[in-house]
Structure 1
Amino acid sequence: MAKNDHGKDPDLGSYRKRLHALQIELVKLQSHTIAHDEKILVIVEGRDAAGKDGAIKRITEHLSPRETRVVALGKPSDRDKTAWYFQRWVAHLPAADEFVLFNRSWYNRAGVEKVMGFCTDDQLREFYETVLPFEQMLIRSGIHLFKYYLDISRDEQKKRMKERRRNPLKQWKISPIDQVAEKKWKEYSAARNDMFTHTHSPLSPWSIVKADDKKLARVNLITDILNRLEYDGKDARMLLSDPQIVFGFDPAYVENGLIAP
């Protein structure tokens, strides 16, 4: 990427400026949410190394920690495995004034659990039969629910996983499941496509975020969230997301390659 005479990346400066402006809008949104007792839930899904952590960090960076929560649950306990599947997430749903982000969610059942054989066919079938009615209950209770899938190419995942293994500050991100992710690319693609087919609906649709470029993914994800909510002082002039970066799911995108095959 070209740099100017001072050795600075002009695109980086533009990114930081836009991100800062969007984060100001997020603070406005949160003030409105608190004033009106609203509840926001953002689900962020995607393959390993898709950039979920970085995107969520930019969303929450300047928000009030008292009313903002990031939920990233570990593997289920023995007790969790015997409980109603959605039960362990219910305790983390937003109450009035709260902005909650799920870094992975109940959609683990349709992704990791399916691909790695951690659930049975009957459990997966039951999940598909119940997840949309469950989400409809949440929406009817007053929760603003948004579902985003960060989509990266196979080459980009390989590059990021290699960087993870090299970088001593990212060692915590490496797990046995991550190491299998590259080998099971096709299986994860098939599971993702089934998930979209079964769980995309007019009431709780999936939005795809093209995430090979992390900076573009972050600013367009934030812009899309802000666009879909009303709040006091909204600066609509700057909330124009790129429809080639963030767009609603359509089955045709699986066939034409708009979603990574």
Structure 2
Amino acid sequence: MAATTTNGVPSRRRRRPHVLVLPLPSRGHLLPLLDFAHRLSTRHGVALTVAVTASDLPLLSAFLASTPLAAALPFHLPDASLPENSNHALLAVHLSGIRAPLLSWARSRPDDPPTVVVSDFFLGWAQLLADDLGVPRVVFYASGAFAVAALEQLWNGALPLDPKISVVLDTLPGSPAFPYEHADQFIDARLVVDLRGAAVRVAEGAAAVPDAATLARALADAVDGAKCGDVRAKAAALAAAAAAAVEEGGSSRVAFESMAKELETACMSPSFG
């Protein structure tokens, strides 16, 4: 079918965006990405293909039932052995073995190829796949913007990645030594306790394991309006602000709608159809 023209100039026809979704096979990463993809599809008519391991396919049942334009693309993990309880970084490297099969699958459907790749941030090889397909890639982070900024700074600072190594931030006066893998706990505590006043500290210290009795007392105090009324009020206000951000006109909703429009623009072709 020929493209329509305006004053003799071919117009750009809009086609339905087709997003290839590449989650990390971990529930903490998979489920938030599915929620994001569901909203993108149901609110903006975006077609979805979700590449998922055969073992995780049952987790998509509710998602597929509520997202008419979504389809699953099951795959088996590459045959190379993967240590049990491997961390996310090793799993992401292992998953790079499906890049070639995904490329073959995408090229086998010239009438409906993926127009955008959306992947978990651990799957760096997804950028190479998007480059091979000549389409944009969108990176999905299951965490908030602050954590992403902190992670970027850690990479730039070339801090050691061995989780057994303790790190001291020399530029931060009074910094304790703490295991690298637990650094986020101190950031979380500072945000919600010191800055927001919406939480209480329990089991202070880098090597501390929460004592059951101490934790029980902290939980009891947290639900006691007389002891933690101010903290509870601030936590409720923070929850209300978070809920408002995803409502119509909220900051998160506005950012989401803006990104969806960018995807639609990227999928316009001068002669599609």
* Structure ranking higher on relative contact order (CA contacts 8 Å, 6+ apart): 1
TM-score of the aligned structures, taking structure 1 as reference length:
0.32
TM-score of the aligned structures, taking structure 2 as reference length:
0.31
